[in-house]
């Protein structure tokens, strides 16, 4: 059985986004709609209030919780997610799992994305920096694989090593630096899109035929009024119950 793992913790003061319990509940609803195979949804959080009873709750680890982003306080720090590469994480997450950000929008059957046989697959590069091979918004992992990401991480020097190598982000920067460019990736050919790059910067509004998942890793969250008014398909799909509106 595949486990879909998401992570929720209080953002740093002044950060652009808030993540109410509804974001977890909507994610579960989208997963249940678009992944028609046995699965469980798990949220790593210390605040389960308001989260659907069908979501398993795991108390977060303290590892690197207060380690800042190398890009400054206004950027997210997600180093605590490196725990997914711990050799023993299968005891909690199961043998195979997908780590999924709360700000993604599922728009089609994701079976072909999540039923792949590789030990590790990540969303492809979405930043211009030459070392940014992976985006942490969606990653598929066989538990215990790529444990060097966990074993080699040193909070005193690893963030700067990744930064100097041109790897953007906190955990995703280190993952890119540690693993290099050779891992399997999802991209537009798989039906995975970036709201910032493929819609906002490209000045496109319509959802492409065959789109399965859109990553909202930029300025606009899918629950924002701007995103829902500008892209009707977000209003349709980012919901507890999908509407019939186009």
pLDDT, averaged in runs of 10, over the chain (246 residues): 94 75 98 98 97 97 86 81 97 98 97 98 85 93 98 96 91 95 95 96 96 93 96 96 65
- C-alpha distances in angstroms, 63 versus 49, 69, 106, 187, 233? 23, 14, 30, 30, 37
User: How far, in Å, CA of 91 to CA of 56, rounded?
Assistant: 14
CATH fold for domain 2-187 = Spore Coat Polysaccharide Biosynthesis Protein SpsA; Chain A (3.90.550)
Domain locations in the chain as residue ranges: 2-187
pLDDT value, residue 246: 43
28: nearest Cα among 100, 95, 92: 100
């Amino acid at each position: 059985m595949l486990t879909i793992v998401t992570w929720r913790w209080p953002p740093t003061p002044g950060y652009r986004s808030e993540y109410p319990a509804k974001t977890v509940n909507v994610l579960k609803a989208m997963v249940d709609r678009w992944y028609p195979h046995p699965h469980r949804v798990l949220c790593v959080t210390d605040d389960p209030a308001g989260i659907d009873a069908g979501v398993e709750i795991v108390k977060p680890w303290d590892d690197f919780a207060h380690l800042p982003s190398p890009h400054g306080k206004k950027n997210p720090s997600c180093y605590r997610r490196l725990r997914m590469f711990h050799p023993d994480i299968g005891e909690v997450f199961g043998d195979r799992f997908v780590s999924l950000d709360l700000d993604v929008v599922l728009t089609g059957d994701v079976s072909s994305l999540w039923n792949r046989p590789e030990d590790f697959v990540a969303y492809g590069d979405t930043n211009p920096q030459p070392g940014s091979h992976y985006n942490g918004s969606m990653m598929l992992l066989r538990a215990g694989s790529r444990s060097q990401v966990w074993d080699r991480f040193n909070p005193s020097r690893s963030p700067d090593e990744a930064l100097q190598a041109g790897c953007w982000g906190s955990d995703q920067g280190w993952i890119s630096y540690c693993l290099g460019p050779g891992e399997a990736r999802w991209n537009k050919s798989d039906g995975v899109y970036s709201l910032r790059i493929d819609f906002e910067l490209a000045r496109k509004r319509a959802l492409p035929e065959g789109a399965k998942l859109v990553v909202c890793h930029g300025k606009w969250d899918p629950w924002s009024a701007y995103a829902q008014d500008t892209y009707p398909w977000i209003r349709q799909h980012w919901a507890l119950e999908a509407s019939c509106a186009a």
